Chain A
């Protein structure tokens, strides 16, 4: 069968930001779906968003309410969401209460009533909220499975996309014949993780659609439900081809050590203990990008954007003007209950808004602390997805990470995430001549050669400044307690691996 011969299934927008991506581009038209979850998980709000996104006066939505929440109270609360358009009621969206039929008759009568209303209105969308409450009458003549089966057949014939909303607990998912009838099953979960609430949704089933598997974080705000796809909405975007460009720090000696700068699209880690200048170097990196016409994003977790910009000013770096000009965004991601996916969405939105080429995450420790405890367990995995997605679209990421100084070890990160990074720059304190000085070394560069030199640096009012030549007259520098050797400091230029000359 050729592609032309196959039936085309239209995809309807869900009205839920992020959910279209998760369900594979939209919900199939005329599909019969169940939205399941515990009370308060956002089922009704999600259904309302779909209804408001798709109902028209010509093809209205019928919203059948049954027992449970009063329609008036439900609308009182739902209209607080920004998607709620009261002018669509009742012309495009009709609410019909079935509680009397349910209480006084049986499921057959409910089906009859729904049939009558559907035949009268020819709706594009039908919602039954909540169908679960209908079967709590033991004397019902029709069982729920039969009711669902007949309802699904009828509504499909009438070309309606349908949602049944039901309160289900996790353990009811298995072997439930109701779910076999449905074309789509969206499960909303809400769990408490220590003091935080974590909301996740899962498209357990969606016939004919290439939905994104797994659990996706969602949040309910005054705009309604917002979902955050695990793939960050980047599944349809091709990865950028590798670039030969190098992005400078604006610290000439460091750029030489890096073989001309950081390869574009790399993930760079700057590791060091407190006060070694990680944030300073990160700020210089983003400021240099702006000087070269590369917009940047700085995601900060530990201080307010104003304080961050003010600190940059003390280093002679102006972060105020580029913010005004739309070339720099300093994102302050509120330090409570975040998921990586949410953070990622904020960063992606900012990247797309200003066309950012450089992203600074300052710091990973702050990022982790900003997450809800439930998400911290998945931090490394989430970070991997985030870095892979962002570098794939050509963004160069510089992350800072604080490491504890040790005189027996030389750790690069407390997260064991060096596999996530292409390049690692390590900063540390050393004790030399009765002073606590700072040294810098490029540990790794996945895409190119780099200097092996250990260089001393200072933080001045111009930022990080590398001093002199490499420290050749000391041994065991990386231990932090070096031993002076008889060799004088090298007069050579920084040497690169494989004998490649540094770019200048």
Chain B
């Protein structure tokens, strides 16, 4: 492939955690009431809907949520609307625990991370790692995504 060589990819969970942490930091400055998961999800939705169409995003999001629910049953009330938006996450989001001491493990409260990780995992499955990271860099130009390995992800 002609593309520039990407660094070793972080796992999708680390990448998701990285993005949520980044948005949580941004959250304090701007919209404190909106959950980081929702902010990450919405940015992905806007970017991917423009790129691939609303219907394509909705399909991916629905699949990601189905996968995430099997891992985090507490997401049972969350739904994906026809326009791809996420419904029912806000009240659940308060349970999310961004526990910085856990390595590679996610308590039930980390459903938001799991959902985003599943969505990113599907993107990687279909588009490949390089293109997925390239798209994410465009949405989060300020986030150091290459450093989102298990250790750095939590330091971000």
**A residues adjacent to B (C-beta < 8 A):** 65, 70-73, 75-76, 79, 82-91, 94-97, 99-100
Contact A99 B51, beta carbon cutoff 8 Å: no
- B interface majority secondary structure: helix
Instruction: Give chain A nearest CB distance to B45 CB in angstroms.
Output: 13
Instruction: Give the most central of A72, A87, A95, A99: most B CB within 10 Å.
Output: A72
Q: Return chain B residues, CB-CB under 8 Å to A88.
A: 3
Interchain Cβ contacts within 8 Å, total number: 72
Q: Return chain B residues, CB-CB under 8 Å to A73.
A: 126
**B residues adjacent to A (C-beta < 8 A):** 1-4, 49-56, 60, 126-128, 130-131, 134-135, 138
Partner of A76, one of B53, B126, B130: B126
- A interface majority secondary structure: mixed
Contact A95 B51, beta carbon cutoff 8 Å: yes
Additional A-B contacts beyond A87-B3, A97-B52, A100-B54 (9; CB < 8 A): A72-B60, A75-B131, A82-B2, A86-B1, A87-B134, A90-B138, A91-B138, A94-B51, A97-B51
Contact B134 A97, beta carbon cutoff 8 Å: no
Distance between Cα atoms of A83 and B4 in the complex (Å): 12
Q: Which residue of A lies closest to B50 (CB)?
A: A96
Distance between Cα atoms of A83 and B3 in the complex (Å): 9
Instruction: Give chain A nearest CB distance to B133 CB in angstroms.
Output: 8
Distance between Cα atoms of A65 and B53 in the complex (Å): 9
Instruction: Give chain A nearest CB distance to B117 CB in angstroms.
Output: 18
List 6 A-B residue pairs with CB atoms under 8 Å apart, sorted by A's residue number: A65-B52, A82-B2, A87-B134, A89-B131, A94-B51, A99-B54
Contact A86 B131, beta carbon cutoff 8 Å: yes
Q: Return chain A residues, CB-CB under 8 Å to B1.
A: 79, 82, 84-86
Q: Return chain A residues, CB-CB under 8 Å to B127.
A: 72, 75-76, 79
Partner of B134, one of A65, A82, A89: A89
A89-B50 contact given A71-B56, A72-B127, A99-B55, CB 8 Å threshold: no
Contact A79 B128, beta carbon cutoff 8 Å: yes
Instruction: Give chain B nearest CB distance to A94 CB in angstroms.
Output: 8
Q: Which residue of B lies closest to A99 (CB)?
A: B53
Instruction: Give chain B nearest CB distance to A98 CB in angstroms.
Output: 8
Distance between Cα atoms of A136 and B130 in the complex (Å): 36
Instruction: Give chain B nearest CB distance to A126 CB in angstroms.
Output: 16
Q: Return chain A residues, CB-CB under 8 Å to B49.
A: 97
Contact A79 B50, beta carbon cutoff 8 Å: no
